[in-house]
Every structure is written in structure tokens, then in C-alpha cells.
Amino acid sequence: MCDIIKMTATELAGKIKNKELSSVEVTKAFLDRIEKVDTKVKAYISVCKDYALKQAKISDDKIAKGEKIGALEGVPIAIKDNILIKDIKMTAASKILENYIAPYDATVITKLKHAGAVFVGKANLDEFAMGSSTENSAFFTTRNPWNIEHIPGGSSGGSACAVAAMTAPLALGTDTGGSIRQPASCCGIVGVKPTYGRVSRFGAVAFASSLDQIGPMSKTVEDSALLLNIIAGYDRKDSTSINIEVPNYLENIKDSIKGLKIGLPKEYFIDGLDKDVKNALDKAIEVYKSLGAEIIEISLPHTDYAVAVYYIICCSEASSNLARYDGVRYGFRANCNNLLDEYQKSRGQGFGAEVKRRIMLGTYALSAGYYDAFYGKAQKVRTLIKQDFENAFNKVDIILTPSAPTPAFKIGEKSSDPLQMYLSDIFTISCNLAAIAAISVPCGFSQKGIPIGMQLLTKHFDEKTMFKVAYAYEQATSWHKEFPKI
């Protein structure tokens, strides 16, 4: 069993396919592991034990009968609890959806079902994916498997923790401003934010619709490429998904990166950067040099405005998206005698503090008289940020930055200061504003043994180059072979 939980999804899929392992055996190993460690790290809001074992049995039967199987046949995966799986509870880590049962499958779930994946559980998150530490979950805080006094990052903290704690070999997260990459960095795993439009968001709870993307989280780069192969593609149910061909992300992943140009934005490598993060990044840059890449300093001049622009846009869109939780159509309803009271009390009691803060900020930024000064202005600066990247990608193939400004901090350290918390995503936010893709790859540990991540950003729809560059580094180092002692 010990071996099973340390295997990659690619290895597991291979062994299940050639009958060295059964899916039931594999699924049970992960379910046992959840039972053993999840009380300590709390990655899951719900564990789908019976559902998973039933799916696993179906996979095993298919294999026994020699039927056609999927690329992830029989392999377990954890799903962030803001993505719908038909007939399974979906809470978005909010009281307002505490007892909500999903009436249909998200498109990514339909695709995963076709690929044969087994859903072991729904992973914890910051309420409605708003946060960077998973402390905003209405239910409980997830812990970092490398040190349970530290945050796992957020908002996909449960997904990152599940993979790092070896309770699932793969997970899905969502990323609006860094929520896949920052927790991946905090937990020492790989996380991918695909290009906007690459993966359908149909069936994912909308937070900020011009920024949200679903993406893979895994122990290795290859596993994330495999998972993106499955979930990517046009979907007519999501009008923002784009109808261009999905390449095979595993093809060419092992190609040499000799001569490739890697840009280091000077605005990201500033004096105040955490010492451990800087050391890890400096060493990673040396690894790339030794692999034959050319390192070039670049500039992304509007970087300073990214956090402000992001918080205006994401709060504005959230205030509109979250208007649907009115206590009438679905979710929690406060018992009242008149309709207005019912709306107000349902929302007042159903939403947590951070969600309310964002709804208020967003409603303000969109209100008559302020719209041009805040929302309109933010959209203009967003275009400048996008142009910064376009200019940079005329000079380089990939941009390398830290994933997060510090290694995972202690639980409680920033919860009373929202502005400090908002800065956790300073390096990941611009990617969403520019609608490009990025990956976070483990690149070392702090002196206290907390993981550190490196971010590689790529042009629109050029995830192939991103995977190749990430894979080359991963294979030249051994961070993906480290496991927490939990």
C-alpha cells in the first residue's frame, strides 16, 4: 500500500491497465490513507467512499472484459468542492450551499468520467474560492502536510494538500488569481492555470468570470499534462471556451530546451523578496543555464498595479455572480415573514466575512458614479498588463518568477489583515489578468522545511512549451521525489 500512494497517476494508470494492480486495490489504498491522515490535515469536505469504490469496480470490470478504457481508467482524483459532480454534495465551502446536491456534472467531470477517473472526495477551499490560505472555508482550515501549523495555501488548499499528503494522486483546482499555483507552491506539488478559454468552466461555481479557470494539480509535470489532455477543449456550454485544437501535451514534453529563451521580469526579483525564495529561484535559474537555456532580463512595467486591478475586477464580478444566492432559488434559506427580510437574512447568515467584504467592494466599484473611476479604469490597466506580456513574449519563450512571495505562513498569521493576505498572490494575479497560462513547479524548501515553488508563464495556448520547460527542470532535480513525513 505504501508504494501505491507514492505512485504517480501515470504509473497507476499503467499498472491498472496491464492488471498489475486493480482499481479497487488502488482506490482502497487512497481511501485508507484518507482515513489515516485526513483527521490531521483536513483536505476533504466530503469523502465519496462508496461512490469511488463503485466507480473502481466498473473500471476493473471493463479491464477484465477487455473493453476500451480511458487514459485515467481506475485512477483516483480529488475534486475541489466548487465543481459539480452529479448527486454529490457541493458546498463551495460556504454555509449558503451547505446541503446543496449537484444536479448535473461539470464538463470537466463528464470528461473525467469518460477517461475512467475515480472521484475519492471533494476538497476544501476558501469560501467561494476567495482567499489564499483555506482559512476562509466556512467549515475548517486545511493544514500543510509539511508542517501542520502552516497554511496549505488557497483557495485550492484542500486539493493541494490531498496530493501532497498522498491521499489522492491527482486533483482539480480552480484559479482566479493564483488559487491553483499558490497552494501548489505551498504544498510542494505541481499546479497549472491553463489559458483562459482552454478548459470549460461549465459546472464550476463562478467567482470572477473573466478570470476563472479550472486546472490540474499533481505530484509531477507529466501527470498535469496528462490531466490537461483530458479536461481541455471547446465546450458549447461555456461561451468563453475557445474552439481551437487541443494538442497532445505529453508529446514533445521530453524535448531539449537548449537555446530556449527564459525571461526574468525585473519587477518580480526585487530587494525585499524572501531570502529562502530568492535562494531557491537563483538555483533554479542555474539549472536552466546548465540545460542550455538563455536567461534574459525583461520588464513588465505595469506589475505594480496588478493587485489593485485584480481586486477591483474580481470583486465586481463576484458581486454580480453571487447575486444568485438569494435564499429562494437554492441553498440556505433563513426563515422570515417577508421576502426582503428573507433575502437579507439568507445572505447575511449564509455568507462569511470575506465573501461579504468582496460583495460590498464590488457593488461599490460598479455603482453609478464610481463605475468609470474604478471598474472602467481597472479594465484599462488590465489591457496594459496584457500588453506587457505581449511585448515580453516577443523577446522570450517563457517567463520565470517565484510562485509566491514567501513560503507558506503560519495559520492565523494573516487572517486579521486582508491586505496582507491579498499580497500572497502578487506573482500569480497578472497571469489571470492577461488570460495566459502558467505552471507552478516545486523548486526547493525554506530553512524550516516548507516547500517553495517556481512559476513559468507562457503565451496564450502555448501550454506545450510550458510543460516542456517545467519537465526539463523537474527531471534535472529531485524535488518531486520528496514526500512529507505525515
The residues that touch ligand GLN, with contacts defined as CB under 6 A, are: 129-132, 155, 175-179, 207, 314, 425
Please, which residue, 425 or 462, has the CB nearer to ligand GLN? 425
Q: How far apart are CA 158 and CA 180, in angstroms?
A: 10
Considering the complex, what minimum distance in angstroms separates the CB of residue 425 from ligand GLN? 5
Q: Cβ(210)–Cβ(452) under 8 Å?
A: no
Q: How far apart are CA 439 and CA 456, in angstroms?
A: 5
Considering the complex, what minimum distance in angstroms separates the CB of residue 208 from ligand GLN? 8
Please, which residue, 8 or 403, has the CB nearer to ligand GLN? 403
Q: How far apart are CA 154 and CA 133, in angstroms?
A: 4
Coil/strand/helix, residue 171: strand
Q: How far is CA 440 from CA 176, 287, 443, 455, in A?
A: 15, 16, 9, 4
Please, which residue, 21 or 214, has the CB nearer to ligand GLN? 214
The amino acid at residue 291 is: L
Nearest to 89 by CA among 63, 119, 112: 119
Please, which residue, 33 or 193, has the CB nearer to ligand GLN? 193
Considering the complex, what minimum distance in angstroms separates the CB of residue 318 from ligand GLN? 9
Do β-strands 261-265 and 190-193 pair in parallel, antiparallel, or remain unpaired?
unpaired
Q: How far apart are CA 161 and CA 425, in angstroms?
A: 18
List the beta bridge partners of residue 35.
none
Nearest to 34 by CA among 22, 45, 47: 47
Nearest to 167 by CA among 50, 74, 41, 11: 41
Please, which residue, 59 or 137, has the CB nearer to ligand GLN? 137
Residue 384, H or E segment: helix 377-395
Do β-strands 170-175 and 213-218 pair in parallel, antiparallel, or remain unpaired?
antiparallel
Q: Would you name the residues annotated as active-site residues?
A: 80, 155, 179
Please, which residue, 73 or 175, has the CB nearer to ligand GLN? 175
Considering the complex, what minimum distance in angstroms separates the CB of residue 204 from ligand GLN? 11
Considering the complex, what minimum distance in angstroms separates the CB of residue 426 from ligand GLN? 10
Considering the complex, what minimum distance in angstroms separates the CB of residue 86 from ligand GLN? 24
* Residues across the chain: 486
Q: Which residue is nearest to ligand GLN (CB)?
A: 179
Place of cell 519563450: 397
Q: How far apart are CA 427 and CA 423, in angstroms?
A: 9
